[in-house]
A and B are shown apart, each in its own frame.
Chain A
Amino acid sequence: MAFTLSINGRARRVEDDGDTPLLWVLRDTLGLTGTKYGCGAAQCGACTVHLDGKPVRSCALPLGAVGAAQVTTIEAIEGPQAEALRDSWVARDVPQCGFCQSGQIMSALALLRMIPAPSDADIDQAMSGNICRCATYNRIRAAIHDAAASANAKSDRSAGA
């Protein structure tokens, strides 16, 4: 069956079974391999993408359920929070093996867009579905705090200018 998906701002036509997980389509059909396959059972969060701005596990999202929703993958995130996250991830040297990190960043970005200055509890709750086998959780939390402070300082400066 043919589906027209909106992925990273572009209309993409794919032919596949409606039960196929979106993750397979992103990686195998469209070559967007930044989104990772971790567990295939929505238990680890490595495959997190945004559906209309909200984080979803693409391994558990059937192609037929995507509809007209805007899909955003790690390849196309942008904006002040995304830039702040990228910078803080580098500054804190967050990744160890790195496999889970695109999912971590997608969840962290959705969190910062919803709660610009999250508490430790906000971070722990929002990120609890993203597993890191290298246990970089403390660096992830610190980097999210850094990114929040940096993005908020930037927006304060532009508001004051």
Chain B
Amino acid sequence: MVATAVRNNIRTLRFEHGEMTQQVLAEQVGVTRQTIVAIEKEKYSPSLEVAFRIAAVFGEPLDAVFSYEPDAR
């Protein structure tokens, strides 16, 4: 799939949170692990609600986790 214009730091944040697994993050966010994989690889843009939930898991504001870079597609 064409990469989305939404960039993220999920991999880094998982590392900084004790090497949190994708499965644990998925369970805390309330999505499947495959969706976390797709978001992390920037092949799927999450809904705003899921994006907020991911940021909340890491205790970060939304723009510390996600950024919008349309030219980087």
A and B together in one complex: no
Residues of A participating in the B interface, judged by any CB pair closer than 8 Å: none
